[in-house]
Amino acid sequence: MPNRLADATSPYLLQHADNPVDWWPWGPEAFEEARRRGVPVLLSVGYAACHWCHVMAHESFENESLAAYANEHFVAVKVDREERPDVDAVYMEAVQAATGQGGWPMTVFLTPDKDPFYFGTYFPPEPRHGMPGFRQVLEGVFAAWRDRREEVGEVAARIRADLAERASLYAVGSGVHRPPAEADLHQALLGLSRSFDAKRGGFGGAPKFPPAMAVEFLLRHHARTGSEAALEMAGRTCEAMARGGIYDQLGGGFARYSVDAEWVVPHFEKMLYDNALLLRVHLHLWRASGDGLARRVALETADFLLRELRTPEGGFASALDADSVDEATGDSLEGAYYAWTPRQLVEVLGPEDGALAARLFEVTDRGTFERGASVLQLPADPEDPAAFERIRARLLAARAQRPAPARDDKVVAAWNGLAIAALAETGALLERPDLLDAAVRAADLLIAVHLTADGRLLRTSRDGRAGTNAGVLEDYADTAEGFLALYAATGESAWLGLAGGLLDTVLLHFADEASGALYDTADDAEELIRRPQDPTDNATPSGWTAAANALLTYAAYTGSALHRTAAERALAIVGALASRAPRFIGWGLAAAEAWTDGPREVAVVGPADDPATAALHRTALLATAPGAVVARGEGGPSDVPLLADRPLVAGAPAAYVCRHFTCDAPTVDAAVLAERLGVRAGE
């Protein structure tokens, strides 16, 4: 019989709807039930594409004996971290503070007042490799609750106090530190240089995560200062990822991370946010350097988004699972969809092309992955591009006949905002109108389904039906970022107005008026044990610094001192963290580069159907100046302040390059505009 998750919209919760564990969704009813029964809460947090979440589900949550014990002694609550990032953030902070590590599935035991007192991540069903078995954990926690309740309460109170103290550091740090100076940005570059893996790209060792936000900072720093070291780190990292197993060499798109330091074997789940961010950063690398591989990867990743993640309603699904059914064994295995053996290549391609494919993609008898299979890599460009494309197409068609990974098809506002920005820019810069159309359609879905009548955002939807969870800061910031990118690409001022509405909500409901710091949840959101707040990046840009970047962009279009001041105050924390943790404040550093440079403001005016207007507009979009904004109008009266009083020049389309609304003399020549904006020669 299905449990209380049967009516959920989250694919992750629905995966657990038939568990013998009597799961409750997160909500006051679950905690009231725990209080009524006098038992603790077992909180389990994960997401649909999480491999170890599936493992623990099969081993423990589908075990009748374990489920019976959990049901008798706990109220079990299941949370999709992608639906409730606020719940995940608060308790993950506690897990990391207590254990020094974190991950999913996250397992936390709470009092009926939501206070955590015991933590973990994955637990095996029986003791293994030094880890206690899940039954042992359940029995031990309940014994402590039953026999040492006062001690449990003291532990919970200490944890709550520690979390409150940690939270106060952000407000204090934001209040007393100045906005980042050029010296701070240089120190961040030096910090990244020290952890840079010059041989294999990226930063640090295994596991190695795609550092999209740090790479964006490096590209902006190079654009502002001319630093070749910054461009080298960005280019080497992108090339290493694009040639490695973390990149899908057949279908495009990136996996979540590499389990090794060489980018060879990925954790195979494919997330929308990773691919949106990496699409955009490869596009920006091409814009800065003309790198052909980066251009190809950007387009292939965009095509992957449209082919495999677009929903019938026009949004983009959250993820593809890491696991799929292995045809040989019938078991659900990680990476089964993507790995190949030499024999499988020959079966599809024949002996000659099969051997060529094995050499191109480094597929060996020994293999690089489990079961003697290899993850495809492309260490060098093929000598015969036509043969390469023919082989790829045939392998991709053959792979499509394998059982495919499951898709988490919920639409998350923030991640769709990132995808909208990436697709809008790619469509405009690489002259792919289908990508721009896809961005517009996804934005239309967010407006129709996620945006409420009072201007608030709902975080998720599925099958065109909105969920009930309120949007968090990253939803407002990243959706505004997407709308601002659409305005730059299309010149349609409605997108600018929509972005402004979202950012006004940020200032009204998410900002700390005293310090300028930003919270992850609104002031009228559900009260948790603390109000989550974090300026550092995780897998996605911090909502705090994403909002700062969007506020700065909006101010550049409108001249709004309110929004620019809010951006400056929000960016103050970057100055405090730039030298200490540059890998984890990359989006803030990228926004700080834009603030340091101005950002540059470009107003293009002229008839929309005039080729000269189009040439000036595309040239402006090719600008590498950090965070440069581009407005396009007809040259007459405009409701966009940057376009006001910007007439045509002798009746011809013209471009104005400005900082803080102070402009150079206009030009009618796209080549002159390119020179002023530092556009790479040949574009």
User: Which bin fits 598, alpha (ψ -120 to 50), beta or left (φ > 0)?
Assistant: left
The half-sphere exposure of 376 on its side-chain side, counting CA atoms within 13 A, is 27
Residue 58 is classified by DSSP as I
Phi, psi of 308 (to 5 degrees): -115, -15
What is the radius of gyration, based on Cα positions, of the chain?
26
Q: Which residue has the tokens 């003399």?
A: 665
The pLDDT score that the predictor gives to residue 371 is 86
Full DSSP string of 561-586:
HHHHHHHHHHHHHHHHHTTT-GGG-H
Asked whether 41 and 34 are in contact (CB, 8 A), the reply is yes
Q: Tell me how far apart the alpha carbons of residues 252 and 238 are, in angstroms, rounded to a whole number.
A: 14
Phi, psi of 564 (to 5 degrees): -65, -40
Closest of 601, 585, 478, 481 to residue 192, by C-alpha: 585
Sheet holding 662-663, edge to edge: 629-633, 600-605, 654-659, 662-663
Mapping DSSP to helix (H, G, I), strand (E, B) and coil, where does residue 298 land? Answer: helix
What is the rounded CA–CA span in Å between residue 496 and residue 641? 11
447-479 burial code (b ≥16 CB/10 A, e <16): eebbbeeeebbbbbbbeeebbebbbbbbbbbbb
pLDDT the model gives residue 200: 96
Estimate to the nearest angstrom the gap between the alpha carbon of 228 and the chain centroid.
Answer: 27
Res 299: pLDDT: 98
Give the pLDDT score at 176: 47
Q: Which residues are 324's β-sheet partners? A: 333
Handedness of CA 508, 509, 511, 512 (dihedral sign): positive
Helices 561-577/493-509 angle, 10° precision: 60
Cα first-last separation, the chain: 62
3-state DSSP assignment of residue 79: strand
Asked if 474 contacts 540 with a C-beta cutoff of 8 angstroms, the reply is yes
Secondary structure string (H, E, C) spanning 434-452: HHHHHHHHHHHHHHHHHEC
Q: Which residues pair with 310 in a beta bridge?
A: 316
Residue among 258, 290, 291 at smallest CA distance from 274: 258
* φ and ψ of 97, to 5 deg: -65, -35
3-state secondary structure 146-210: HHCHHHHHHHHHHHHHHHHHHHHHHHHHHHHCCCCCHHHHHHHHHHHHHHECCCCCCECCCCECC
Write out the H or E segment, with its range, that includes residue 136. Answer: helix 134-147
Strand partners, 412: 460
Give the pLDDT confidence score for residue 329 in this predicted structure.
87
Low-confidence ranges of the chain (pLDDT < 50): 172, 174, 176
The DSSP element (H or E) to which 410 belongs, if any, is: strand 407-412
pLDDT computed for residue 100 by the predictor: 77
Estimate to the nearest angstrom the gap between the alpha carbon of 344 and the chain centroid.
34
Residue with tokens 């279009």: 557
Dist CA 393 CA 399 (whole Å)? 10
Counting runs of H as helices and runs of E as strands, what totals does the chain give? Answer: 23, 18
The torsion defined by the Cα of 249, 253, 258 and 259, in degrees rounded to 10, comes to: -80
Which residue, chain included where needed, has tokens 């936390």? 108
Looking at residue 159, its pLDDT comes to: 86
Rounded to whole angstroms, how far apart are CA atoms 253 and 337?
14
